[in-house]
Amino acid sequence: MRTVEEIYNSLIEKKATYPDLDGLNSTSKVSIWRLLLWVFAFAIYIHERIFEEYKKEIALMIQEEKSHTQRWYRNKALAFQYGFSLLPDDDQFQNSGFTDAQIEASKIVKYSAVTESEDQSRLIIKIATESGGVLQPITDDQKQAFEYYLSEIKDAGVKTTVINFLPDKLQLFLKIKRDPNVIDSNGVSILNGNEPVKDALQKMLKELPFNGELVLNTVVDRLQVIDGIVNPHLIAAKTSWIDPSLGDYGNWENIEISKIPVSGYFEIDYQNSSIEYVV
Q: Please write the tens of the pLDDT for every residue from 40-77.
A: 999 999 999 999 998 888 877 766 665 678 888 999 99
Arithmetic mean of pLDDT, 210-217: 94
Predicted pLDDT at 123: 92
Question: Using H for helix, E for strand and C for coil, what is the string for the chain?
Answer: CCCHHHHHHHHHHHHCCCHHHCCCCCCCCCCHHHHHHHHHHHHHHHHHHHHHHHHHHHHHHHHHHCCCCHHHHHHHHHCCCCCCCECCCCCCECCCCCCHHHHHHHCCCCEEEEEECCCCCCEEEEEEEEECCEEECCCHHHHHHHHHHHHHHCCCCCCEEEECCCCEEEEEEEEEEECCCCECCCCCECCCCCCHHHHHHHHHHHHCCCCCCEEHHHHHHHHHCCCCEEEEEEEEEEEECEECCCCEECCCEECCCEECCCCCCEEECHHHCEEEEEC
Lowest mean pLDDT among 103-107, 153-157, 171-175: 153-157
122-165: pLDDT as tens digits: 899 999 999 988 899 999 999 999 999 999 998 888 899 999 99
pTM, rounded to two decimals: 0.69
